[in-house]
Every structure is written in structure tokens, then in C-alpha cells.
């Protein structure tokens, strides 16, 4: 009898053909033929190097591929230095994460970043080293052991679109090595002009344009973000090989989820807007197939901050050759933005539309939902959704942005990002400050702010996604205005909402209120058994969003007025455990979590 195949052989037989086919789609059949032995070598090496506890996790999760689509899955995201000081310091605070029920931890700025400004750690100088002041890879392995024991999966950023300009590849390219020059895009002035006419700008105020002239490169390097972030040339298969290898090595260090940073921008085709190109999806599919073979316990998460309609394909699609999976998790950025629009205009119309556009998640996949993160609230992603509701979506969004930046009667304390406020771009501020806690001067105003915070947390939780809390939001941390006086950070407005964790603040009444509300919402979701794609129901009230969660009905009142809604007879309030009238009233900014009797 032939020996039974090893898990690696079994997976290679099952998923290798998909990987091979995708490589051919990207680089052509002839090159795929030549590349395949190198691809299969590097995946076999990393499969053989997979540590036993991770290999065991692979088997468990293969048997239960939707393991993370669960009402229990709430997460946390924060900076290593600002949360724990060092990697070992993060390990010392795992108890805080456990108390929040966290099952997933996204650590920002862990890998070795560029010297000097690094876009908050997103200009990576070495993917396989830890930022030296924070610790070593051995510390990361120890941290992942501690996290695994607590059933918390570590997520790390894989910045695929660009390296830092001091990454070894960039240094070699600059010194004239043709192999590495081909890792980047170098254009002539004329080509830049042709390309720019089709491109938008991510940082129009602090990093205008998409190209940077680099004399040693003898041309313009493609730099979508900051000039020191050099976009990688994915049309060169060497980039793909290097990144597959990097990803698998990190997975073998114990990383259980990769946040695929800025993946919409990966594939460049001059003459297009270079976002969401078909081959960008093929690259993600390649990474997924490699993980399916070597490290199937590992999740891929798409960070595609693009208009709503372009986002679901990052879960994967069937293009005639069977379903080709991409990411297990995808940020529901539009729902986050819609929550802030709803607060500003006291209308549930936009989140209702986004929830209805967010259904249909494939099996073994889920949205990642959130109220705030380390980035700005980028308003433009929902422009088209609003166009279906309003003839002048630009003005309507600008009004929401201005409100969130504190204009007029607003309770919010926020700042425009990459704009002087006259054009629509983004808004910065912490959850608490944008919800009114910073401007509140009395208990009544503070109470309203707490309600708005709970409302946005409820939107993330009751909509069924992997709901992630951004560091400090559980403690109601306010904006960090000190960034303006710090020469290293003053040019980058997003530092407004990246205050260092204030451990003492966890003991304040404000933090107890916010974490208490968060825990009640999470417990309610677990009791309701709600997870997966969000579902909206009609509440009959324009300011009240209805979300089905398991068999429960959750009503979010986005207005400053009481709202009456209808329920069948005999329903109960799940949070307060009391019977409800058939026509209950929801107080201003409150939510009602109703369960059947
Ligand atoms: C992602 C990150 C953001 C960063 C950008 C460029 O959008 O979330 O912080 O500036 O990518 O890497």
C-alpha cells in the first residue's frame, strides 16, 4: 500500500494547480513554466520548516474553515510602542485583551521600518526583522505563544504595494543593480505626465503627485504614498517570489493573519487609475493559494479603501474557472464611514444602503467591522452609494465631514486630513473625541457622547463582522493634540488619533462605561449567535437603522430625538433583560437590542 500523503503533499495536490494557473495568468505560460520549480521549492522549504504547534493549528482550521466567522470574534488593533512599549511589553498586557474578550490582535508598526519618518511604520525596511527598539523575532515568537494560549491570533501588516526607500532592494536598485531596479517602477518625465492624468492622489497635501524623481535611479520612481515609499513592480515575478517567501516565513514565526496593506494599488497599468486592476486580484489569489498549501491556519485580510462596489471582489470571485478565493477578511470601510455620516446627519439612510450592499459574503469569509482605526475617515468611498440616495452627494458628504470636524453646532472635535477643509478628503480624531466626549462640559453632554460611542460600537458588533476596537477607544481616549508640537509628527494629521495607551485611564468612570457597554454588546451578540454578513430590516423610522443579528433585532437610533419602532408581541430587551412593549421608544442616540421571547 502506498504511504498516505503528508498534509503538504495533500495540499499541494489540491491547491498547486490553482497556484500554477494563477501564475500563468499573471506572467504568461512560458514564464510560469520556468517559475514553477522555484515556487514549489520555496513553498516546500517553508512547509517543512513549519513549527509543530502551527502545523497542528493548520489541521484544526482546515477541518473548520469558518472558525473565525463567529459571534465571539472581536479584535483589537494598536501600535506596539504606544500599547506595550516593546514586543515583550505587549505580551505583559495580554490580560487586558483577554478581559475585552479579544480573539484577534492587529499590531501596527512591528516590522523594521525606515529610519526617520516611516508613515507610522508603513515604510518597511526589512520584512523579516522586528523594529530594533521594540525587540526581536524571538520576542514575537514568545508573544505568539502567549497569544495562542489565550486563543488570540496575531495579525501583522504585509505592506505589499511598497517598500521603504532604504529597504535593501531599494538600496541595491539605487546603486545600479539591474535585478533590483526592476523591483520598482522607474518612468521618464513624459511617461509620468501620461500616467498622472489618470491617477488620484492619496496624500495631496503632504505628498502631492504619484512619482518622485530619484537622481540615482535616473528617473521618476512610482510613489503612490510618501516619496520614501517606493511602489513595487509586481509585473516582475521576482517580486512575487520574494513576497510569497516573506509571507510564509512570517507565518512560520507565528503570525496568524496578514493585513494586506493598500492592496487596491498593487498592479500598475498606465492609462488607468491603477486601482483594483484584475491582476491585483490575481496577486492576492496567488498569496492565498500559497497559504492554503503551506499555512492554512493563516488568514488574509484586505485593506482596500475604495468605493463600496469594488470591495466585495477581494473575498474572491468565480471567473469561469471555479471560485478563486482571495481574502478571508475584508475591511468594511464603507460601513464605518456610513456610521459617521449617520451620526452627522441623524439619518440611517446611508448605513442601511451599505448594509444592503454588504451581503453575500462567501463561506469561510467575513467582514472586518470597526468604528475607528489608525487612519482617517476617508469620505470619498461612499460617494457613489450616496448618489443613489441624493442628487448632490458631494455637498452632503462635505456637510458630514465638516460636522465631524466640529463645524457649527457639532459636538465633534475632529480635524480635516489632507485638506484645508474646502475639499472632501478625510477626517481625523479618536472615537471619543468625534463622538463628543472632548467637547462635553457637563454630565448630560457626556452621557450623549457615551451613547454615540456605544452606537458606533454596536454598528460594528451587531453587523456580524470581526469587530475590531482601536487601541484606546475602549478607554475613551481623547485626541492627542501634542502631535502638532512634535517635529517628527506635526506634518501628519493622523497622529491626532494615535495617542499612547493610557493605562491609568482604564480606571476612570468614562472607561468603565465604554468598556462595560462594549462587553454587553459582545455578550449580546454571542447570546444571539449572530456572525457573518450583515442584514438590514426596515424600521419604518428614517433615523433608526435595523440590523438582524442571529434571531435578534437591533435598532440603532442615530438621532437626538426619541424614536418609536414596532416589534412583534412578547419581545425582550436583551441588554436590560426586560419585556418590551409592541411599540417601544428608543431614547436619543440609544440602541435597542431586542430578542424574541
Ligand atoms: C494603509 C495604512 C496607512 C498607510 C498606507 C500606506 O492605508 O493603513 O496608514 O499610510 O497604507 O502604506
Per-residue pLDDT tens digits for 412-447: 999 999 998 888 999 999 999 999 999 999 999 999
Nearest CA to ligand 1 atom 8: 375
Nearest CA to ligand 1 atom 12: 122
Question: Annotated catalytic, 303?
Answer: yes
pLDDT the model gives residue 423: 86
- Asked whether residue 365 is domain-assigned, the answer is no
- Asked whether residue 477 is domain-assigned, the answer is no
pLDDT the model gives residue 385: 96
Query: Measured in angstroms, how far is the CA atom of residue 108 from the centroid of ligand 1?
Result: 11
- Asked whether residue 125 is domain-assigned, the answer is no
- Asked whether residue 547 is domain-assigned, the answer is yes
pLDDT the model gives residue 266: 97
Total domain count, the chain: 1
Substitution site in 375, 376, 491 for ligand 1 pocket (most atoms within 8 Å of beta carbon): 375
pLDDT the model gives residue 491: 94
Helices and strands, counts by H and E, the chain = 19, 28
Query: Measured in angstroms, how far is the CA atom of residue 515 from the centroid of ligand 1?
Result: 28
Query: Measured in angstroms, how far is the CA atom of residue 231 from the centroid of ligand 1?
Result: 13
Q: Work out the average pLDDT over 67-79.
A: 98
pLDDT > 90 fraction of the chain, expressed in percent and rounded: 97
**Residue in this structure with the C-alpha cell 451599505, named with its chain if needed:** 354
Query: Which CATH number do you get for residue 577?
Result: 2.60.40.1180
Q: Work out the average pLDDT over 464-470.
A: 98
Return the number of other C-beta atoms located less than 10 Å from residue 66's C-beta: 15
Question: Annotated catalytic, 261?
Answer: yes
- Asked whether residue 548 is domain-assigned, the answer is yes
For residues 153 and 257, the answer to whether their CB atoms sit within 8 Å is yes
Nearest CA to ligand 1 atom 7: 262
Catalytic position from the list 303, 345, 376, 552: 303
- Asked whether residue 150 is domain-assigned, the answer is no
What are the pocket residues of ligand 1 if the criterion is a CB atom closer than 6 Å to any ligand atom? Answer: 119-120, 122, 159, 225, 261-262, 303, 374-375
pLDDT the model gives residue 512: 98
pLDDT-derived band at 388, boundaries 50, 70, 90: very high
Query: Measured in angstroms, how far is the CA atom of residue 202 from the centroid of ligand 1?
Result: 10
Q: What range defines the domain where residue 557 resides? A: 536-595
The beta strand positions in 249-390, using DSSP E, are 257-261, 299-302, 316-318, 323-325, 329-331, 366-370, 377-378
Question: Which atom number of ligand 1 is nearest to the Cα of residue 226?
Answer: 6
For residues 315 and 327, the answer to whether their CB atoms sit within 8 Å is yes
Q: Work out the average pLDDT over 493-508.
A: 97
Rounded to whole angstroms, how far apart are CA atoms 414 and 479? Answer: 8
- Asked whether residue 16 is domain-assigned, the answer is no
pLDDT the model gives residue 87: 98
Question: Which atom number of ligand 1 is nearest to the Cα of residue 375?
Answer: 9
Question: Which atom number of ligand 1 is nearest to the Cα of residue 224?
Answer: 6
Helix H segments across 295-414? Answer: 333-345, 349-357, 383-387, 393-404
Bridging pattern class, strands 329-331 and 299-302:
parallel
pLDDT the model gives residue 421: 82
195-227 residue pLDDT tens: 999 999 999 999 999 999 999 999 999 999 999
pLDDT the model gives residue 321: 85
HSE (CB half, 13 Å, CA atoms) of 172?
Answer: 13
Question: Which atom number of ligand 1 is nearest to the Cα of residue 123?
Answer: 12
What three-state secondary structure class fits 577? coil
Nearest CA to ligand 1 atom 4: 122
Substitution site in 77, 113, 119 for ligand 1 pocket (most atoms within 8 Å of beta carbon): 119
252-261 residue pLDDT tens: 999 999 999 9
Q: What is the DSSP letter of 167?
A: S
Substitution site in 107, 123, 261, 489 for ligand 1 pocket (most atoms within 8 Å of beta carbon): 261
Assess whether pLDDT exceeds 80 at residue 2. Answer: no
Return the number of other C-beta atoms located less than 10 Å from residue 178's C-beta: 8
pLDDT the model gives residue 116: 94
How far lies 554's CA from each of 43, 259, 342, 366, 480, in Å?
A: 46, 30, 16, 19, 33
Query: Measured in angstroms, how far is the CA atom of residue 262 from the centroid of ligand 1?
Result: 6
- Asked whether residue 116 is domain-assigned, the answer is no
Catalytic position from the list 261, 324, 352, 375: 261
pLDDT-derived band at 274, boundaries 50, 70, 90: very high
pLDDT the model gives residue 359: 79
pTM over 0.95: yes
Question: Which atom number of ligand 1 is nearest to the Cα of residue 159?
Answer: 12
pLDDT the model gives residue 319: 82
Q: Work out the average pLDDT over 21-26.
A: 98
Query: Measured in angstroms, how far is the CA atom of residue 119 from the centroid of ligand 1?
Result: 7
Q: Rounded to 5, what percent of the chain is helix, strand, coil?
A: 45, 20, 40
Assess whether pLDDT exceeds 80 at residue 371. Answer: yes
Query: Measured in angstroms, how far is the CA atom of residue 158 from the centroid of ligand 1?
Result: 11
Mean pLDDT score of the chain: 97
The C-alpha torsion from 344 through 346 and 351 to 352, rounded to 10°, is -170
Amino acid at each position: 500500500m502506498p504511504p498516505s500523503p503528508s498534509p503538504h503533499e495533500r495540499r499541494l495536490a489540491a491547491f498547486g494547480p490553482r497556484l500554477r494557473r494563477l501564475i500563468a495568468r499573471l506572467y504568461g505560460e512560458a514564464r510560469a513554466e520556468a517559475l514553477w520549480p522555484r515556487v514549489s521549492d520555496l513553498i516546500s522549504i517553508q512547509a517543512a520548516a513549519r513549527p509543530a504547534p502551527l502545523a497542528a493549528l493548520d489541521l484544526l482550521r482546515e477541518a473548520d474553515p469558518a472558525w473565525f466567522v463567529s459571534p465571539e470574534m472581536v479584535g483589537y488593533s494598536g501600535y506596539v510602542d504606544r500599547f506595550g512599549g516593546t514586543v515583550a511589553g505587549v505580551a505583559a498586557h495580554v490580560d487586558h485583551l483577554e478581559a475585552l474578550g479579544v480573539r484577534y490582535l492587529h499590531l501596527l508598526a512591528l516590522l523594521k521600518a525606515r529610519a526617520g519618518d516611516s508613515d507610522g511604520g508603513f515604510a518597511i525596511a526589512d520584512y523579516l526583522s522586528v523594529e530594533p527598539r521594540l525587540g526581536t523575532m524571538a520576542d514575537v515568537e514568545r508573544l505568539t505563544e502567549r497569544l495562542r494560549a489565550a486563543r488570540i491570533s496575531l495579525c501583522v501588516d504585509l505592506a505589499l504595494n511598497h517598500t521603504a526607500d532604504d529597504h535593501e532592494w531599494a538600496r541595491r536598485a539605487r546603486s545600479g543593480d539591474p535585478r533590483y531596479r526592476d523591483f520598482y517602477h522607474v518612468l521618464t518625465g513624459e511617461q509620468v505626465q501620461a500616467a498622472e492624468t489618470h491617477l488620484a492622489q492619496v496624500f495631496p497635501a503632504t505628498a502631492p503627485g504619484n512619482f518622485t524623481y530619484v537622481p540615482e535611479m535616473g528617473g521618476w520612481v512610482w510613489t503612490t504614498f510618501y516619496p520614501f515609499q517606493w511602489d513595487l513592480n509586481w509585473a516582475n515575478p521576482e517580486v512575487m517570489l520574494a513576497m510569497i517567501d516573506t509571507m510564509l516565513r512570517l507565518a512560520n514565526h507565528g503570525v496568524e493573519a496578514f493585513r494586506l496593506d493598500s492592496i487596491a494599488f498593487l498592479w500598475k497599468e498606465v492609462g488607468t487609475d491603477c486601482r483594483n486592476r484584475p491582476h491585483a486580484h490575481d496577486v492576492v489569489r496567488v498569496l492565498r493559494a500559497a497559504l492554503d498549501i503551506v499555512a492554512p491556519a493563516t488568514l488574509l485580510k484586505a485593506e482596500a479603501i475604495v468605493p463600496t462596489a469594488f470591495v466585495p471582489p477581494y473575498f474572491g470571485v468565480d471567473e469561469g474557472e471555479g471560485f478563486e478565493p482571495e481574502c478571508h477578511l475584508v475591511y468594511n470601510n464603507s460601513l464605518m464611514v456610513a456610521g459617521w455620516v449617520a451620526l452627522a446627519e441623524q439619518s440611517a439612510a446611508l448605513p442601511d444602503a451599505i448594509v444592503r450592499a454588504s451581503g453575500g459574503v462567501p463561506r469561510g469569509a467575513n467582514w472586518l467591522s470597526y468604528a475607528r482605526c489608525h487612519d482617517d475617515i476617508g469620505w470619498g468611498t461612499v460617494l457613489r452609494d450616496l448618489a443613489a440616495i441624493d442628487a448632490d452627494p458631494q455637498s452632503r458628504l462635505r456637510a458630514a465631514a465638516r460636522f465631524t470636524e466640529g463645524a457649527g453646532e457639532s459636538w465633534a472635535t475632529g480635524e480635516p486630513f489632507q485638506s484645508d477643509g474646502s475639499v472632501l478628503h478625510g477626517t481625523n480624531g479618536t472615537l471619543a473625541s468625534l463622538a463628543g466626549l472632548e467637547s462635553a462640559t457637563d454630565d448630560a453632554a457626556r452621557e450623549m457622547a457615551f451613547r454615540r460611542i456605544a452606537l458606533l460600537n454596536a454598528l460594528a458588533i451587531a453587523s456580524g463582522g470581526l469587530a475590531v476596537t482601536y487601541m484606546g477607544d475602549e478607554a475613551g481616549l481623547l485626541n492627542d493634540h501634542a502631535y502638532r508640537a512634535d517635529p517628527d509628527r506635526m506634518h501628519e494629521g493622523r497622529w491626532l488619533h494615535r495617542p499612547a495607551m493610557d493605562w491609568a485611564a482604564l480606571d476612570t468612570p468614562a472607561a468603565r462605561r465604554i468598556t462595560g457597554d462594549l462587553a454587553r454588546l459582545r455578550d449580546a451578540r454571542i447570546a444571539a449567535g449572530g456572525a457573518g454578513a450583515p442584514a438590514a430590516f426596515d424600521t419604518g423610522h428614517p433615523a433608526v437603522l435595523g440590523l438582524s443579528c442571529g434571531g435578534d433585532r437591533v435598532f440603532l437610533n442615530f438621532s437626538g430625538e426619541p424614536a418609536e419602532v414596532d416589534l412583534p408581541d412578547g419581545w425582550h430587551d436583551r441588554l436590560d433583560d426586560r419585556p418590551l412593549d409592541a411599540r417601544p421608544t428608543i431614547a436619543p442616540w440609544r440602541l435597542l437590542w431586542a430578542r424574541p421571547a
